[in-house]
Structures are given as structure tokens and as C-alpha cells.
Structure 1
Amino acid sequence: MKTVNVHGGNVHKASRNMGTSLEHILDFSANINPLGMSPAGTESMKKHFEEIIHYPDPELHGLISTLSRVWNMPESYIALGNGAAELIYGICRLSNVDTVYVPAPGFSEYAHAANSCGLHVKEYSLTYDAQQHTFMYNLDLLMDKMKECTQTILFIGNPNNPCGTLWTHRSEELFHICKENHHYIVFDESFIDFVGDNFSMREYVKRYEHCVVVHSLTKFYAVPGLRVGAMMGHPTVIEQIKSSIPTWSVNHLAQVYGEAAVLDRAYIESTREFLGREKEWLYTQLSALNVFELVKPSVNYILGRLDSKYSFGDLQDYLYSKSILVRDCSTYSTLGPNWFRIAVKDHDTNVTLLTVLKEYFQNYRR
């Protein structure tokens, strides 16, 4: 199984290599809200900026209280961390677990977190339908695997990164199997805000003690540099995971930003409305180039594969020369050469990408 720890979004390294400033780089490798930060959150940070002379609130009272109201979740069911990744590492430190099941393709940090805790890592593959251009979860396969073992953590991306697959199964049988066999079932919903609450599994944590939902505030609310993530689960599970998270993990500005941003309804609705249009437009425009096999997007990124007569490495180098970053997905298990992922950006930036792509393919010489 491939475990190369490579992420998109290393714009700082690109800036150093290119000898240019960050604002001159078009970073399609990081899946961040194209509308930028929440205006309400930004104003809150300005208002509370001078309070950074104090330690952050270790109880994170304001943000947890606000999330409790927004998500209709008891405060004792919520914990926060320095981004979703820190919470994933904390989850892998749960007691009486020896194996972690991760989706393929899937977020690499699941496996890296498990390896850091000395756990065995096993993959389960999503099914790719080439005619429908989509990856799908195989519920029967998952249930069979969970019946064959005990004391595991099952990670499910919802939507899954990098393919955007949503978990549409509401089968109670999987939860009962996990309960009977002492498994934890973890839904990583780092991108769920882009599609809305109707697709979230967070209500299941109230019904199943072994269910945990991870939520990122850095993707939708566009603050990957602040780092703030949340998780929901039964208080006994939450308290155990929290014991692995350092005090003051979430800084003060991240707390006050998040508290205001999650209540910024105009910003939330504008983001969903814009992305609903823009992701379809970009998907259509990229498809019209007739060189890509694309997975239909559900959120703010598009997974695709370049026609085998081209080299994605050459294309990536060309884009790099134009200060454009895209995500090479060849290291993802079950994908391989010429697979890539691009984020959906603002319209003008997306137009720039398309213009450069057209130039490349028009001038291409084998």
C-alpha cells in the first residue's frame, strides 16, 4: 500500500522555488473556499486581536457553545483540535484498537496516523464506474470486512477526498455490526459544509456510542493557516480522544474567527450558491477539452485522469512555469499515473487555468 505523505497546498515551497510572492501563485492544489474568509469572522479577529497577549481559552467555551447550537449537538459531544488532522491522530490513539481500515483512494493522513500509533492499516477500495465517471462505496464489502474482525477503526470520507464520493447509505446494519465487533466508525466530514447538513452523519453519534464524526473548519471557512477542526461523538469516546490532544491546541484567533464564521449565514449561502454553479461550469469546460476523464464533482474539487497519450508530469511542469499548482494524485492507492485533482477557484482564476491548458494542448508535440 502506498503511504507517501504528500499534500497539496505547499504554496510556500513553490513561492521559494519560483522566487515570487504568494499572491502571484494560483494554487489549485488546495481545496479552500474560493470566496475566501468569512467577513464576520475576519472582523471578529480584528476586534479580538490584542487579546492574543493572553493564553487561549483551554475549554474553548465560546466556539463549542456556538457549534452546539448550530449543529444541535450537546456540548459534551464536541471537541476541537488543531485542524481535522490532529483529531484523526487522536482517534487512532483510542484504546483496544489494533487495525485501521481506510478508503482507497482516500486521505493519506488516515494511514499515517494509524502508522504513528503502531496500528495495522488495511484498505478497502471504492468501486469506480467508468461509464458514470464516479467512485462508489460498496456497503456489502464494508459489512463483510467488519464481520471478519474485531477492534478496528473504519474511516469513511464523506465526501471522500480526492474523489468527492458522498456516503449515501443509511444502513443501520453496518452500525450494529460495528457495535457487536467493537469497531469505531469514523466519518471524516471535512468538506461537508460545501454540500449542506442533509448529507452529514452527525446525528448518528447520538445513537451509536462507537460513531465519531470529524469536521474541518479550515476548508469551507478558508483558514488553513489558522488550523481548527471539530469532532463529535459520545462523551466517553470524546474524553478519551481529548486526552491525546495538547492544551491550547486551538489558538485564540482561530476560536474567535470560528465562532463568528459559523454564524455568517450570508457567507455560507453565497459560497454554496457560487460553487453550485462554478463547479459545474468548470467541469463542463474541462470536459470540452477532450483530454481528461473527469469524476463529476460534488464539492469544491475535481478528480480526473489525463489521456494516456500525454504525460501529466509534463503538463504539471508547464503549469508550474505559469505559477499554477495542481495536485498530482498518482501516489493515491488504486489511482496511479496521470490522475490529478484541481480545486474550484473563483471564476476569473478558473478562466486563467483553462486558458493555459488550451495553450498547452494546442502547442503539444509528442
Structure 2
Amino acid sequence: MEKLLAFVGMVLAILAQAGNMIVNKAAMSDGVNKYTMIVYANTLSTLLLFPYALFIFHRSSDRPPPLTFPILCRFFLLALFTFSGQIFGYIGIDYSSPTLGTAMLNLVPAFTFILALLFRMENVYWRRLSSQAKVLGTIISITGALVVTLYKGPPIILPSAPDPFLFSPPQHPNWILGGLFLAADSFTSSSWYILQASVLEKFPAVVFVVFFQCFFATIQSMVFTLIVVKDATAWELRPDMGLIAILYTGIVSTVIRYSLINWCVWKAGALYCTMFKPLGIIFGVIMGVIFLGDPFYLGSLVGAVIIVSGFYGVMWGKAEEKAVEDGCRKRESLGQNKVPLLQNSIDEEKHSCTSIQCR
């Protein structure tokens, strides 16, 4: 039952993420300012998380570690990556389509692997099949991103009517520029993952990390938008698609989706949950055609297939390394329970695990 609930939860989480791109694209197509939407969505997420964070703070059993200035600086940097990714993502979707956005999200594991190599958090052992799979998968994913960005191709799925079902049809002023911004969004997300791992090691309180991240992102986005947006009417909230996009992003895409993902990771593991990411492409195509009247192009199909192939190559390599690591840990735990007469054999097993760099 828990596996079934985790399956349903991840499908809903991916659906919520694809839906977020759809409503944001619809709002921007209706003329809503993308930067003010980011400010309002971050503010709403902060307000929603504040009571929960305050409740946990007053529970002595779950009280987080003390806040220090270096920790707050890390929170601020996390928020900067979050806000930068939001800017890149909104601009990319505005210039292209949610279908391209969902396809480019699958670049995150490849970029994360590259950054982990640069920061010496990952090692490559060329004789091991798992390392070869990660390197090859990264190259394939980046190749797919180039295909989906540089080659649009003819439309293979067209909306059933000239006018879309609900919203005005979006324009594509610059498909290539949109793809570049979406790739920058994926790279920023990968940087966020690298920093998030180090932050949680020093401050293992997920709710507080997310709260301060949203809080600082609100301040950063507000300062940026006040500088960039000169029209005061862009800040007006009206009962239109802009308000729907703000409510959806703040409530569904941030609070509910992150809660679902955290619960699913807890019940089924991070690797299981990551495997659902390519579903976003399917949801993006279906909802883009139905709600936005957005055609699906051949280049998006070819590039998405290449990106997903590379995505699963990287994930398979990481799964194999995790299996080796778990096997070494089991051998070490068994070794602690052996009698001294078998100690030499145990030492050989430990040396074998060390020689293949179990981590």
C-alpha cells in the first residue's frame, strides 16, 4: 500500500509541476508580469510555511539547531539559486513552451553530476560500468538538449481547433533563446542540489531550510522586481489568470508538491522518486495542446527521447554505485560480528570494498 501511495503521490507531484508551467504560461500570454508573479508566489509560500515552522520550533523534541550567521548566509545563497532558477524558468517558458520546459528539467541529473565532479563530490572510475553509464548519460542528455533547442521541426500534434480550449494561444518569439534560459534553469537547479546537500548536513531541519529559502527568495525577488519593473500597474492583483498562477504556484506547486515529494522520498527512496521526472514531458504535451493550443514539434519529440535516455543512463549508474555501496556496508557490518579466527577473511573483504571505492 505504501508503494502504491508513493506511486500516486509522485504522479500527482509531476502533474502539479507540469500544471505550474501551463498556468504560468497562460498568465504571461494574458499579459501578466512574470517578475511580480514570482514575488507574490514566494510571499505566499513564506506565509504558508511560517505557522508550520513556528509550531515545530516550539516543540522541544523537534527544535532545530541554533541559527548562526554562516548558516543564514547559506540559506541566502540557496534562495539566490532558487530565485535565479525561477527567473530563468519563467523567461524560458515565456519564449518557448511548457513542453520544452518539462523536457529540459531532465537535464538536472546530468548537470548535478558535472558539478559534483568539479567540487570533488563524485569520482569517475573508467573501468567501472556505472561510471561509464553516468558519463555517457550526461553526454547524451546534453546532446538531447541541443537537439530540442536548435531543431524545432514540423508540428506533429496540432490543437483540434484554431482557438484553444481556455486561453489565448501563446506566441514563440524566440525558441532558441527560450531553450537556453531553460537550460540555465536546470543548471541553477543542479547548483541548488549541491548546496542543499551541504546545508542539510550542517542544519538537518528541512522545514526551516525551506522556510528561510522562501523568505530570502521573497526579499531578493522583490528587490530585483522593484528595480526592473517600472510600471506600477504590474503590481495590481486582479481576478484573472495572474492571480490563479500565483495561488497555484504558492500553494500547489511549492507547499503541496514539496510535501508530496518529501513524503514519497521518505517512503520509497530518492532514486524511486527521481524516475518519475520524464512523466512531466507527457503531461506537458497533453496539457499544452488542450489548454494552450500549443503544437508539439518533431524536434521536441526527438530531443525529449534523447534527454530521457541520457537521464536514465545517469540514474542507472547511480543506482549501481548505491548497490555496491550497500553491499560493502553489509559486509562491514557482518565483519563486526565475526569471531577473531575469521578476522583475516573479514579484513580481505574490507580491503576489497575499499579497492572499488565504496562511498
Greater fraction of residues in helix: 2
Same structural fold, with TM-score higher than 0.5 when normalized by the shorter chain: no
Which has more radius of gyration? Answer: 2
Structure with the greater relative contact order (CA < 8 A, sep ≥ 6): 1 or 2? 2
- TM-score, with structure 2 as normaliser: 0.26
Greater fraction of residues in strand: 1
- TM-score, with structure 1 as normaliser: 0.25
